[in-house]
Amino acid sequence: MTDFYDELAPFYHLIYQDWDASVRRQGEQLSKLIESEWPGHRSVLDVSCGIGTQAIALAERGYSVTGSDLSAKEIERAGHEARARKIDIDFSVGDMREAHALHGSRFDLVISCDNSVPHLLTDDDLLLAFRQMFACLRTGGGCIISVRDYALEARGKNLVKPYGVRTENGKRYLLFQVWDFVGEHYDLSFFFIEEDLSTLEVETHAMRSKYYAVSIDKLCELMHEAGFQDVKRVDGAFYQPLVIGTKATEQNRLPNRSEE
Ligand SMILES: C[S@@+](CC[C@H](N)C(=O)[O-])C[C@H]1O[C@@H](n2cnc3c(N)ncnc32)[C@H](O)[C@@H]1O
């Protein structure tokens, strides 16, 4: 999995038609949600920041942001992207399942966006990650997860997901994924066909990973089990469905299902 994102790091922005525009849009959308759900909350921990799409977006809007990710190459690029924009973000390499040991409990918000948590392949690992995110928050803090809605995705083999064509620096890139399901898990191959437009030389990059096509209902259930209150799915606020929850203050805290 680390290899997948280490290899993807230099190409990651190509997943988007226009990465800078997406950074701006995601910043607007996330800050609108934060202001409506947790007004005044400003310190953010992004536990799967990748090359910094949401971390940079929120820092550009004045949030104080800390970012970590399993992929050292993505963290290296995130640092480079932030410096190029003269933005100060504390980036480090780390596993979201160890987020509390890495970062402590000082955050107003914890985020993990763009379908990162389905890289955790079991319910036990997802629960562990949500418990760690919960532990990183101050009371009253909020958690935002963005994920694919796997209820809308067909199961099977040889499923092709086209991402389109991009051009930059005299090169053309054709991007597509191929998914092969086994039960509720799937192997993903991400192909980048790189064509040099002056020499017509072609190089194919293929990166492979595995995902758990976990349902949004299951994620809500696990977040609740991890201690979050007011757990809910939010549609239409971001380009993917969101699952959000709050670490309630003692007086607002309802018993969790396991305590009832
Ligand atoms: C699809 S990318 C999203 C990155 C970033 N949020 C963005 O939108 O640009 C998923 C990210 O999850 C990270 N990841 C996967 N498993 C992780 C784990 N256990 N702990 C921390 N990061 C993890 C990957 O390294 C990758 O950067």
Residue 158 is given by DSSP the state S
Amino acid 255: pLDDT: 59
| Ligand 1 centre distance from Cα of residue 197 (Å) | 32
| Ligand 1 centre distance from Cα of residue 43 (Å) | 20
Does residue 173 carry a pLDDT above 70?
A: yes
- Across the range 121-134, mean pLDDT stands at 98
The CATH class, in words, for 2-150+215-259 is: alpha beta
pLDDT tens digit string along 224-237? 999 999 999 999 99
Residue 71 CA: nearest ligand 1 atom is 25
Cα angle 53, 54, 58 (rounded to 5 degrees) comes to: 125
Amino acid 191: pLDDT: 98
Q: Where are the domains of the chain?
A: 2-150+215-259, 154-212
Residue whose CA is at the smallest distance from ligand 1 atom 17: 70
Q: How far, in Å, are 70, 124, 217, 224 from residue 231 at the CA level?
A: 26, 19, 10, 6
Amino acid 17: pLDDT: 96
Amino acid 259: pLDDT: 52
Residue whose CA is at the smallest distance from ligand 1 atom 10: 116
The CATH class, in words, for 154-212 is: mainly beta
Residue 95 CA: nearest ligand 1 atom is 20
| Ligand 1 centre distance from Cα of residue 71 (Å) | 8
- Across the range 6-13, mean pLDDT stands at 95
Cβ(50) to ligand 1 under 6 A? yes
For the chain, where are the alpha helices, taking DSSP H only?
Answer: 2-8, 19-37, 53-60, 72-84, 99-103, 123-136, 216-225
pLDDT tens digit string along 70-121? 999 999 999 999 999 999 999 999 999 999 999 999 999 999 999 999 999 9
| Ligand 1 centre distance from Cα of residue 167 (Å) | 25
| Ligand 1 centre distance from Cα of residue 50 (Å) | 5
Cβ(81) to ligand 1 under 6 A? no
Compute the distance between CA of residue 218 and CA of residue 91 in angstroms, rounded to an integer: 30
End-to-end CA distance of the chain: 38
pLDDT tens digit string along 11-42? 999 999 999 999 999 999 999 999 999 999 99
Does residue 260 carry a pLDDT above 70?
A: no
Compute the distance between CA of residue 228 and CA of residue 136 in angstroms, rounded to an integer: 12
The two three-digit tokens of residue 252, written as one number: 């607002």
The DSSP element (H or E) to which 197 belongs, if any, is none
